[in-house]
Amino acid sequence: MARKGVAKILLCLVMLLSNCVLLAQTEPDNHPSKPEEPGSHSAARDTASLVASDWRIAITPYLFLPLRTKGQSTVAGTTVDVDLNLKKTLELLNVAFSARLEAWRGRFGLVSDLYYVNLRLKEGATIRPPRNPDLNIDINIDVDADTRQGWVAVFGVYRLLEGRFPHSGRRYFWDIGVGARWNRIKQEVEARVGVDIARMPTVSNRLGGRDSWWEPTVGTRVGVAVSDCLMLGARTEIGGFGAGGDDLQWNLLIGLDWRAWETTSLRFGYQYYSIDYSSRLSDGKFAYDIDQHGPYIAVTWRW
């Protein structure tokens, strides 16, 4: 699966660099772009703005709503198929939080991405022994499946290219970044069996556990303004490379940034995310191989 993932990534990068037209996350910019007359000195002003000494900050809480979550989950050496639509995912959702922070000074920036989600499934059943239905004995079975995924990523980013198209005066740019991501995954399944007779204790068994690791991550994003308040773009980040058992973890986000107010933007896009992670815990193989895709919705505040 890793080879297929690498092929998908290379294709996406070729599309990004050949078109050079999209951005899902624009940099903190306190001054919206204004239309320029052809032949003006806007490019010089853009270059001067990159060496400005003031820090520019942005915070972006966001929602990723996977229309489809498909793959495999392995706990204690047992693998089960995962195939969830958005409705089922929301039914299982317990807690979710995600945000992106950016700080820029001149051409250099720091970007941090925080993500956490907790899905929980609780199922119970009561069984009456079939041999003697008249006997007042019930067997209670409860299953609690707890899945949690989170990360904290930090990137150093450099504005490799920025300018304006000569005729329209619309701005374009290209950023590249490198950093590290701390990941944590928890997959636990607990089964409890109790018999309603006398004072027999409940028997329970817990399988799986949690694991965490660091991995290198690289990324790039490109974009172009299509109007005074609208920017289109794309961003991709690639990590893992075998570190900590993560063969490959990557995402591709395509969308738009609408500067609805001077310091506030609304962002809409579509994201694909994939992770291929495998390790071993004390009770056997522990793996998480999942693909997701769905809408991306966010709001950005700048100062």
Q: Is residue 256 part of a domain?
A: no
- What is the SS3 assignment for 39? coil
Q: Is residue 62 part of a domain?
A: yes
- The Cα–Cα gap between 29 and 263 comes to 8
The pLDDT, as a whole number, for residue 191 is 79
Whether pLDDT at 190 is above 60: yes
Count of structural domains, the chain:
1
At 239, list the tokens.
């990590």
The structure's pTM equals: 0.79
- Rg of the chain's alpha carbons, rounded to an integer? 24
Res. 15 pLDDT band, cuts 50 70 90: very low
Q: Is residue 284 part of a domain?
A: no
**Closest C-alpha to 190, from 301, 283, 95, 63:** 283
At 293, list the tokens.
């895709």
Range list of β-strands (E), the chain? 56-64, 68-75, 78-85, 93-105, 108-127, 139-164, 171-195, 203-225, 230-240, 246-261, 264-281, 284-302
Q: Half-sphere exposure (CA, 13 Å, Cβ side) for 261?
A: 7
**Closest C-alpha to 46, from 200, 196, 163, 168:** 163
Residues 122-131: pLDDT tens digits? 765 555 555 5
Q: Is residue 121 part of a domain?
A: yes
Q: Is residue 285 part of a domain?
A: no
Q: Is residue 26 part of a domain?
A: yes
At 184, list the tokens.
């944590």
The pLDDT, as a whole number, for residue 128 is 53
Instruction: Provide mean pLDDT across the span 141-170.
Output: 92
Q: Which helix (H) or strand (E) holds 3?
A: helix 2-19
At 82, list the tokens.
């995962």
Q: What is the DSSP string of 139-204?
A: EEEEEEEEEEEEEEEEEEEEEEEEEE-TTT--EEEEEEEEEEEEEEEEEEEEEEEEE-STTPPPEE
Please say whether the beta carbons of 176 and 202 come within 8 A.
Answer: no
Q: Is residue 78 part of a domain?
A: yes
Whether pLDDT at 1 is above 60: no
Instruction: Provide mean pLDDT across the span 63-81.
Output: 95
- The Cα–Cα gap between 266 and 260 comes to 7
Residues 82-108: pLDDT tens digits? 999 999 999 999 999 999 999 999 999
Determine the structural domain holding residue 186 and report its residue range: 2-229+237-251+261-277+290-302
Whether pLDDT at 284 is above 60: yes
The pLDDT, as a whole number, for residue 173 is 94
Q: Is residue 183 part of a domain?
A: yes
